[in-house]
Chains A and B, each alone.
Chain A
Amino acid sequence: ETGVTQTPRHLVMGMTNKKSLKCEQHLGHNAMYWYKQSAKKPLELMFVYSLEERVENNSVPSRFSPECPNSSHLFLHLHTLQPEDSALYLCASSHDLEGASGTYEQYFGPGTRLTVT
Chain B
Amino acid sequence: QKEVEQDPGPLSVPEGAIVSLNCTYSNSAFQYFMWYRQYSRKGPELLMYTYSSGNKEDGRFTAQVDKSSKYISLFIRDSQPSDSATYLCAMSAGAGGTSYGKLTFGQGTILTVHP
Q: Which A residue sits closest to B101, measured CB to CB?
A: A99
The interface size of chain A toward B, counting residues with CB under 8 Å, comes to 24
> How many inter-chain residue pairs (CB < 8 Å) link A and B?
68
In the complex with contacts A43-B88, A99-B32, A104-B43 CB distance below 8 A: no
**Contact call B49/A104, Cβ cutoff below 8 A:** yes
Do B43 and A108 have beta carbons less than 8 Å apart? yes
Q: Mostly helix, strand, loop or mixed at chain A's interface? A: loop
Are A43 and B105 closer than 8 Å at their CB atoms? yes
Contact B43 A98, beta carbon cutoff 8 Å:
no
Chain B nearest CB: distance from A1 CB in Å? 15
Q: A-side interface residues toward B, CB under 8 Å?
A: 4, 40-43, 45, 48, 50, 55-56, 90, 92, 97-100, 104-111
Interface residues of B (CB under 8 A from A): 2, 4, 6, 8, 32, 34, 41-46, 49, 88, 90, 92, 94-95, 100-108
